[in-house]
Amino acid sequence: MTRMPYKIYLSEEEIPKKWYNLQADLGDRLTPFIHPATGKPCTKGDLTPIFCEGVVDQELNRTDQYIEIPEGIQSYYQMYRPSPLIRAYELEKKLGTPAKIYYKFEGMNTSGSHKLNSAAAQVYYAKEQGITKVTTETGAGQWGTALAMACAHYGIDLQVFMVRTSFEQKPYRKAVMETYGANVIPSPSDTTQVGRKILIDHPGTGGSLGCAISEALEVALNTENCRYVLGSVLNHVLLHQSIIGMETKAAMDQYGIEPDIMIGCAGGGSNLGGFIAPFMGERLQGKNAIRFIAVEPASCPTLTRGKFTLDFGDTGRMTPLIKMYTLGNGFIPSPTHSGGLRYHGMNPILSELRHGGELEARSYEQSEVFEAAVYFAQVEGILPAPESAHAIKAAIDEAILAREEGQEKTIAFALSGTGYFDLSAYESYQRGEMIDQETTVEVLEEGFQTIPTIE
Amino acid sequence: MTRMPYKIYLSEEEIPKKWYNLQADLGDRLTPFIHPATGKPCTKGDLTPIFCEGVVDQELNRTDQYIEIPEGIQSYYQMYRPSPLIRAYELEKKLGTPAKIYYKFEGMNTSGSHKLNSAAAQVYYAKEQGITKVTTETGAGQWGTALAMACAHYGIDLQVFMVRTSFEQKPYRKAVMETYGANVIPSPSDTTQVGRKILIDHPGTGGSLGCAISEALEVALNTENCRYVLGSVLNHVLLHQSIIGMETKAAMDQYGIEPDIMIGCAGGGSNLGGFIAPFMGERLQGKNAIRFIAVEPASCPTLTRGKFTLDFGDTGRMTPLIKMYTLGNGFIPSPTHSGGLRYHGMNPILSELRHGGELEARSYEQSEVFEAAVYFAQVEGILPAPESAHAIKAAIDEAILAREEGQEKTIAFALSGTGYFDLSAYESYQRGEMIDQETTVEVLEEGFQTIPTIE
């Protein structure tokens, strides 16, 4: 048999034409969204003023294991997908491990991450419904960039509320979004009621993701033919991201690869959830015994130190209540360079899987994550996003363990994106200026106080 | 027949195992390098103190049409290649042109450009020869980044002299190079004789590529087991870059594609030269009638307004004399955002082809280039480097012409890299702050005065 290539690219015709819906496997294990005013499960009608109909149907779909990808999305996927499944030959050699290491790399499109997979779908459904404008928030800017690209493709207006500190620290991210035609506003802004209130209560604040979500929601609710779109956390986002796992599975099947361990970083959960979706589905059906590992920053330890309970998705408390692992909607993580992993909550599916024991979780300090990132860049050639480097760190640890135990494990991890826009973080690491700030029990307690008490 | 996919990826086994050496087709049409002291052609012995032996042999090889790619380079190519040949379906549709447009995209590796193809080869030959350290210069930083990656891969030390203005304006480029282990010094520096002299003569200067070359050369000549490597201009660099054209040809042959026009941007000429190499070879053998077009910035119009004569490759006049199109080794281009196209000279092969009429040339102002870049980004999804956008502009112009003339032409262009590190330029364009500065006859005259007079 010939040596497996470094990279497996499916042909464009082999790109899967269906998403995998983990909700169908979990069924009643999942708690529905709860309307905070009534305490009752949210109906489709509660959600459609905010989200496009197409994605609301998906959000509430607990029956269909596979959902057809519309042709208008398939053709866009064909422009920038498939993403390669890469065999980390060099890393294996360098580590001297008997483990086989694979990674699915989503950074080969201009947005630099997997975010485009859901941006494409959400904007497509908006267009189908006759929506002319969407709003969103962005922190580090990867989601905003992906959405700007998708909006340029489908011809939809986009207003992005960008967390003010990022807006000021990452002018280039703003420039990319504007190149793709987006209107980018620093949040909190004086263009919304909630923004003005925050500016009065906290003059000079750098903003937060939760606050930017509230502003984007307000604009969507008060503008004709406008809806809100979100880059992570929700189940329909996870569904769209399952294209990652579906491709991974198709590629692995071609080469008879059966992973023992699958690893991904987890902020809102969309990359990890999408990557493992069909594999986790099989495990829930008793067809495999894969270990699934979520990796998060020690500064925002949602799955490792959070509570599994009902909480709001945003600081402004405008979303439904979501049953998930949470640190409290008012939780303030210590500063970290992994902006994409600084969310207080976690996707409900992954939360349930963690609760049920099917998903393991661990956390790392950022300095050890950057150590792994630099090592990986030098050995494998790809400069990873700090978020993705959490998965790298865990994969390396598992590969070293396999070496110590003399076990020929197959490890697969999700490399969600590139670090081209995170070089100030790399610089700070190289200068030895990176600080690991402990998340104390006091900080956690403070966050937990913002979890609402439900009767 | 099924519709051609958006992207053609060769399999790893299909990546060509030979480079194409255009020197074999041109033979005596090429003038050898001239030793400035003796006025005689340079020998191998004149060049090996500066360059590695392997590449000197290639630089002087006018007989072998194909040169075998060593396995140690092939395996590295397999890590980040092939690059995709993309059919610009969306661009064709948007332009309403009957032309078929293809582009070969070299931006899918972390260095973000084609530069890695020659960096890999040069560092490999250095390693083979027992060299432990290489030096180079970098302007915009793409070459330095590519070289840092290759040096990390092969385990060789790297010292980069980075033009001071870039060093200060592009700290992130420096951070990438350092992540890959390079030592980056702003040029002019006080670490070399030539640097110190320039600092005394021109206190506070921002430096130039020519000056950085002189510093890198000085260190290479005065350090044991150290050689100098260069990212463009020379014939061995063009040879290594011919992997681009060889892959393009292999992919086109699979689908029966025959280009009528091939386009590339030209600074030192390595991307264009590599892209067209096997096709130009066939044209020189009378096997096709492809039109080849070099595109350059109006601010540095080497091929369109330069002289075809012997000149030095660097400002410090340390290189051999090279027969090429040149604006004079002391030419100072007006400020432009395409740092990679600001070189006073041009690769000797391309210069000869331009002189002989096989290669056309045209120039564009940077504002029209950025207009094309933004248009392309929105339509095709890829954010191009400003350098590469010169080729885009010409391809769009040719596609519009095909529409007006009702001709179903096949246009192929080289998209040499991404614009992730050029976002301040995009910002300036979007703000309407981009200025086109005319290259006056006076500016040209001044440059021409620095061309040496050869008896």
| Contact at CB, B176 and A79, closer than 8 angstroms | no
Helix or strand or coil: residue B244? Answer: helix
User: pLDDT class for B225, splitting at 50, 70, 90?
Assistant: very high
Helix or strand or coil: residue A359? Answer: strand
Q: Give A261's contacts (C-beta < 8 A, 6+ positions apart).
A: A290, A291, A292, A293, A398, A409, A410, A411, A412
Closest B-chain CA to A86: B79
| Contact at CB, B430 and A110, closer than 8 angstroms | no
Closest B-chain CA to A422: B172
Ramachandran bin of B190, using left for φ above 0, alpha for ψ from -120 to 50, beta for the remaining angles: alpha
CA torsion angle A329 A334 A335 A339 (round to 10):
-40
Report, as an integer, the average pLDDT of A438-454: 90
Peptide bond just before A70 cis, omega within 30 deg: no
| Lowest-confidence segment of A314-323, B128-137, B238-247 by average pLDDT | A314-323
Q: Give the one of A12, A380, A426 whose C-beta lies nearest to B175's C-beta.
A: A426
Report, as an integer, the average pLDDT of B200-211: 86
pLDDT of residue A2: 56
What pLDDT digit, counting tens, does each position of A101-115 carry? 999 999 999 999 999
Between CA A243 and CA A68 the distance in angstroms is: 11
pLDDT of residue B455: 52
Q: What is the mean pLDDT of chain A?
A: 94
- Nearest to B346, CA basis, from B320, B317, B307: B307
pLDDT higher than threshold 50 for residue A331: yes
Q: What is the DSSP letter of B420?
A: T
Q: How far is B420 from chain A (nearest CA, A)?
A: 7
Q: Is B108 on the interface with A (CB under 8 A)?
A: yes
Residue A166 has a CB neighbour count (10 Å cut-off) of: 23
| A interface test, pick of B83, B154, B392, B423 with most A CB neighbours within 10 Å | B423
Between CA B272 and CA A201 the distance in angstroms is: 58
pLDDT of residue B444: 93
Contact by Cβ (8 Å): B420, B383: yes
| Contact at CB, B179 and A80, closer than 8 angstroms | no
pLDDT higher than threshold 90 for residue A281: yes
b/e map of A94-127 (b: 16 or more CB within 10 Å)? bbebebbbbbbbbbbbbbbbbbbbbbbbbbbbbb
Q: How far is B452 from chain A (nearest CA, A)?
A: 42
Residue A404 has a CB neighbour count (10 Å cut-off) of: 9
User: pLDDT class for B2, splitting at 50, 70, 90?
Assistant: low
pLDDT higher than threshold 70 for residue B42: yes
Contact by Cβ (8 Å): A183, A216: no
User: pLDDT class for A455, splitting at 50, 70, 90?
Assistant: low
| Contact at CB, B424 and A175, closer than 8 angstroms | yes
pLDDT higher than threshold 80 for residue A3: no
| More reliable by pLDDT, A275 or A335 | A275
pLDDT higher than threshold 50 for residue A1: no
Report, as an integer, the average pLDDT of A125-150: 96
- Nearest to B59, CA basis, from B116, B21, B18, B17: B21
Report, as an integer, the average pLDDT of B369-393: 97
E strand residue ranges, B319-405: 321-326, 359-364
Report, as an integer, the average pLDDT of B110-133: 97
| Lowest-confidence segment of A48-57, A150-159, B116-125, B337-346 by average pLDDT | B337-346
Q: Is B83 on the interface with A (CB under 8 A)?
A: no
E strand residue ranges, B36-182: 66-68, 85-87, 100-105, 133-138, 157-163
Cα–chain center distance at A226? 24
- Nearest to A39, CA basis, from A431, A433, A424, A453: A453
pLDDT of residue B1: 43
Q: Is B454 on the interface with A (CB under 8 A)?
A: no
pLDDT of residue A24: 98
First to last CA, chain B: 62
Between CA B216 and CA A186 the distance in angstroms is: 44
| A interface test, pick of B108, B110, B374, B426 with most A CB neighbours within 10 Å | B110
pLDDT higher than threshold 70 for residue A322: yes
Q: Is B430 on the interface with A (CB under 8 A)?
A: yes
Q: What is the DSSP string of B439-452?
A: --HHHHHHHHTTSP
Please report residues of A whose CB lies closer than 8 A to that of B176: 383, 423, 426
| ipTM of the complex in this document | 0.94
Closest A-chain CA to B170: A423
Between CA A105 and CA A93 the distance in angstroms is: 20
- Nearest to B151, CA basis, from B163, B143, B161, B139: B143
Contact by Cβ (8 Å): A195, A157: no
What pLDDT digit, counting tens, does each position of B259-285 carry? 999 999 999 999 999 999 999 999 999
What pLDDT digit, counting tens, does each position of B304-330 carry? 999 999 999 988 888 899 999 999 998
**Structure tokens that stand for B169 in this block:** 């304006």
pLDDT higher than threshold 90 for residue B99: yes
First to last CA, chain A: 62
Q: What is the mean pLDDT of chain B?
A: 94
Contact by Cβ (8 Å): A262, A412: yes
| Contact at CB, B426 and A181, closer than 8 angstroms | no
Please report residues of A whose CB lies closer than 8 A to that of B378: 152, 179-181
| Contact at CB, B79 and A176, closer than 8 angstroms | no
Q: What is the DSSP letter of A229?
A: -
pLDDT of residue B377: 98
Q: How far is B37 from chain A (nearest CA, A)?
A: 42
Taking a contact as any Cβ pair under 8 Å apart, which residues of chain B between 232 and 291 contact chain A?
none
pTM of the prediction? 0.96
What pLDDT digit, counting tens, does each position of A343-402 carry? 899 999 999 999 999 999 999 999 999 999 999 999 999 999 999 999 999 999 999 999
